[in-house]
Amino acid sequence: MIDVYEREGVTCIEGKVIKSGRKAGMIYSFLTDGMVIDTGPQTLESELIPIYENQSIDLVILTHSHEDHTGTAAWLQENRNLPLYIHEKGVSTCAEPCTYPKYRQHTWGIREPFKAQPIGETVQSRHEDWRVIYTPGHADDHIALLHENTGRLFTGDLYVMPKTKVIMQNESISLIMNSIRTLLTYDFEAVFCCHAGYIKNGKNLMKQKLEYLEHLCEEVKHLHNTGLTVTEIDQQLFPKNYPIIEISEGEWDSRHIVTSILSEEKLRNENFSI
């Protein structure tokens, strides 16, 4: 299911993935000034292709290599002969056949390999200049894309929601916080998030997310200092049972937030004591 609408000169392509009659995920791709930002998942390819076929497109920017953002990249490369750009750390992942777990294949489809080029520090679309900002944490090849003249910012999966409750096993809370801090040094207003869509007051919500994570770090460290285990801290701070934990067989879990915060704290203490 696809919905298409305009916000601040950006075509928002809102995709809803339905599996077994239930909503399995929301995912956006965006198009502005002849530039596609993230391509949507392979499961929505049959609905996305007619939209791409009706558009004049010069290039594709990928905020990171996850399959819900890159699933139709191979089609765009083969059928529209478009150049695709990603952070240099994502180039080899894009060239590999699908290596991610079954539950992600089921939701987002099988991403075909494609050849991406390493992105530079800036990007030129037809009439506009964009700044590329490296923002690791959710993924090590993650970038944000900023149009400084208008304050429009594409944030991939850095925002998603203000109060993060579950993360993937290889995400880093401290890197996510540093990436948000980096973004907040820039002048921007509207955020285009690949799972939450267009957010008019995006900068405020980014600030709120950072404050939430800072507070969470303090809570985790405090509970750890009182002698609680990772499991006990997890149960106290995140008592709800999120279905994604079971569906993903633990690739997503609230306890990864606790372990990420504690392992980064341990690393910091070790470095201090050297």
Q: Is 253 in the site for Zn ion (CB under 5 A)?
A: no
Q: Which range, of 1-9, 25-33, 58-66, 215-223, touches Zn ion by CB under 5 A?
A: 58-66
Q: Which range, of 36-44, 49-57, 129-137, 150-158, touches Zn ion by CB under 5 A?
A: 150-158
4 neighbors 14 (Cβ within 8 angstroms): yes
Least Å from the CB of residue 120 to Zn ion:
22
Where in 87-116 is the site for Zn ion (CB under 5 A)? none
Among 65, 66, 85, 164, binds Zn ion (CB under 5 A): 66
178 neighbors 137 (Cβ within 8 angstroms): yes
Q: Which range, of 7-15, 155-163, 200-208, 226-234, touches Zn ion by CB under 5 A?
A: 155-163
How far, in Å, are 30, 38, 91, 93, 245 from residue 96 at the CA level?
24, 18, 9, 5, 26
Cβ closest to Zn ion, residue 157 vs residue 251:
157
How buried is 136 (Cβ within 10 angstroms: 0-12 exposed, 13-18 middle, 19+ buried)? buried
Cβ closest to Zn ion, residue 82 vs residue 176:
176
Least Å from the CB of residue 51 to Zn ion:
21
**CA 61 centroid distance within chain:** 13
Give the residue ranges of DSSP H helices in 45-159: 45-53, 67-70, 73-80, 91-95, 102-108
41 neighbors 109 (Cβ within 8 angstroms): yes
Cβ closest to Zn ion, residue 66 vs residue 224:
66
CA distance 191 to 158: 11
CA distance 199 to 219: 28
Cβ closest to Zn ion, residue 66 vs residue 209:
66
Q: Is 157 in the site for Zn ion (CB under 5 A)?
A: yes
CA distance 67 to 195: 13
Least Å from the CB of residue 211 to Zn ion:
23
Q: Is 209 in the site for Zn ion (CB under 5 A)?
A: no
Among left, alpha and beta (phi > 0; psi -120 to 50; other), residue 43 is: alpha
Q: Is 142 in the site for Zn ion (CB under 5 A)?
A: no
Q: Is 141 in the site for Zn ion (CB under 5 A)?
A: no
User: Which residue's CB atom is positioned nearest to Zn ion?
Assistant: 66
Count of residues in contact with Zn ion, rule CB under 5 A: 2
Task: By CB under 5 A, name the binding residues for Zn ion.
Answer: 66, 157
